[in-house]
Amino acid sequence: MSDLVDQVKSVLPSVRADLEDLVRIESVWADPDRRAEVHRSAEAVSKLLAQAGFHDIRTVSEGGAPAVIARRPAPAGAPTVLLYAHHDVQPEGDPSQWASPPFTPTERDGRLYGRGTADDKAGIATHLAAIRAFGDDLPVGVTVFVEGEEESGSPTLSALLAAHRDLLAADVIVIADSDNWSTTTPSLTVSLRGLADCVVEVATLDHGLHSGMWGGVVPDALSALVRLLASLHDDDGNVAVVGLHQGTAADVDYPADHIRKETGILDGVTEIGSGSVTDRLWAKPAITVIGIDTTPIAKASNTLIPSARAKVSMRVAPGGDARAHLAALTRHLEEHAPWGARVTVTAGDVGEPYAIAANGPVYDAARTAFRQAWGVDPIDTGVGGSIPFIAEFANAFPDAKILVTGVEDPATQAHSVDESLDLGVLERAATSEALLLAALGALDR
Ligand code: BES
Ligand code: MN
Ligand code: MN
């Protein structure tokens, strides 16, 4: 074991350099102008895997973003482990809000800053480190699957899975795309929420009208939209849509002061919703308005706005059905517009939630590996975020054991400005993964 730990340590500088090169590629699949960058990052990932001893490597796509599938065969009698990560990243937002340029990896105080340093190019780095630590002798068969459109809701994942099912089949699936309890305590993620979103358009007129001539009699669409959106929560901030699923979270003591510390919620702003923090984050639905199209203030004139749209995003608690939840949200929006305003709902992405029964030899091996690498036991946690890949692969390979690990920590700020990776966490995550592969190779089957 200590040899392997040392091996990870010794490959880490090269892995970190490779991670930095990946971060320099602006692989934002959601931005139509940067799709070539996503192809470039798939190329880069595939090169790194070739250097790591993979001969069977292909870059595949089914009309969507390129994904990389690379395989090294299992030694006789050993299981095959699928290592998942994604090479696409979220848009960087306003670059002037970043302390260092978003696509220039920059170290400060033991953290590497840049878009994708954690979510999820660090997942790729973790897999590379674990693989490189073994050199030519992997204890298990390894299939690396690096997706390129996770941040866009993985729209062509089912098609990829259907087209390459045989290549992707595995006994154990390790998904390095989640969070840790802290930089010193790892998490084993045992549940994730699903996601369903839509665009709602509200119309009251077929053209704008003078707001002085008609205001007070004719409703404007933006006021109608705002009232409709307000109906999605009750006064305490609980979701008010009927028919949504809720459950109970893993039993974890979540210190109340963490919320203010980890989110930077402004002084005086209160939390919303009722119930424990973990129930609200992991086991209950949430609804957020994530964008609005309407007249910008710079173009505002005294005109009643004829139509306006908003994008509404819902998180679906584990145990719920994302499509049924989208239908419930759609029904609510269609039924709650004030003043007879016309409502059109256009369905967006859906991703199913997932909960894992994390017991048995594979999960025991993972917990042991975590304990050896981090020096403390991992905590079973839920997360509020979504990885649609998981339910999709769990359905396709019902016997595979799914382990959700990751390289994020509470200070990571994924999707926001100043995203960062704790370099110590990268080392511990890579060490745990290497130890896990060794343990899986030694498991009785
Ligand atoms: N890595 C995240 C998922 C995640 C979030 C894990 C928080 C643990 C904690 C992933 O890249 C992500 O952002 N997923 C999207 C999925 C969506 C686009 C379907 C999400 O949760 O919004
Ligand atoms: Mn991710
Ligand atoms: Mn993400």
For the chain, give every domain's residue range: 2-192+353-442, 194-247+284-351
Q: Which residues are in the CB-under-5-Å shell of ion ligand 3?
A: 119
Which residues lie across from 84 on neighbouring strands?
145, 175
Q: Which residues are in the CB-under-5-Å shell of ion ligand 2?
A: 119-120, 177
Distance 414 CA to ligand 3 centre (A): 6
Residue with tokens 């110590």: 424
Find the Cα–Cα–Cα–Cα dihedral 34, 40, 46, 50, rounded to 10°: -160
Question: From the centroid of its chain, how far is CA 435?
Answer: 25
Average pLDDT of the segment spanning 199-228 = 98
Give the pLDDT of residue 250.
Answer: 85
DSSP code at position 271: P
> Which stretches of 104-170 are assigned E, i.e. beta strand?
106-108, 111-113, 141-147
CA atoms within 13 A of residue 438's CA, in its CB half-sphere? 23
Give the pLDDT of residue 350.
Answer: 94
Contact 181/288 with Cβ under 8 angstroms? no
Residues 348-406 pLDDT 10s: 999 999 999 999 999 999 999 999 999 999 999 999 999 999 999 999 999 999 999 99
Question: Confidence band (pLDDT; 50, 70, 90) for 257?
Answer: confident
What's the mean per-residue pLDDT of the chain? Answer: 97
pTM for the full predicted model: 0.94
- pLDDT above 90 for 262: no
Contact 396/352 with Cβ under 8 angstroms? no
- pLDDT above 70 for 242: yes
Give the pLDDT of residue 53.
Answer: 96
**Ligand 1 nearest-atom number relative to CA 349:** 19
Burial class (CB in 10 A: 0-12, 13-18, 19+), 102: buried
How far apart (Å, rounded) are the C-alpha atoms in residues 406 and 86? Answer: 12
How far apart (Å, rounded) are the C-alpha atoms in residues 401 and 190? Answer: 12
Give the pLDDT of residue 445.
Answer: 65
Using DSSP, state whether 120 is helix, strand or coil: coil
How far apart (Å, rounded) are the C-alpha atoms in residues 441 and 80? Answer: 9
Distance 6 CA to ligand 1 centre (A): 32
Catalytic residue positions, numbered: 88, 150
Pocket of ligand 1 (CB under 6 A): 119-120, 150-151, 153, 177-179, 195, 349, 351, 383, 385-388
Residues 114-143 pLDDT 10s: 999 999 999 999 999 999 999 999 999 999
Average pLDDT of the segment spanning 282-306 = 98
H-helix or E-strand spanning residue 85: strand 80-86
- pLDDT above 70 for 193: yes
How far apart (Å, rounded) are the C-alpha atoms in residues 147 and 141? Answer: 19
- Helix-helix angle 35-51:2-23, to 10 degrees: 150
Distance 330 CA to ligand 2 centre (A): 27
Select the CATH number that applies to the domain covering 2-192+353-442 from these four: 3.40.630.10, 3.20.20.140, 3.40.50.970, 3.40.50.10210. 3.40.630.10
- pLDDT above 80 for 1: no
Domain 194-247+284-351 has CATH 3.30.360.10: no
Backbone φ, ψ for residue 159 (5° rounding):
-65, -40
Give the pLDDT of residue 65.
Answer: 98
% of the chain with per-residue pLDDT over 70: 100
Give the pLDDT of residue 75.
Answer: 95
Closest residue to atom 1 of ligand 1, CA basis: 177
How large is the C-alpha radius of gyration of the chain? 23
- pLDDT above 70 for 241: yes
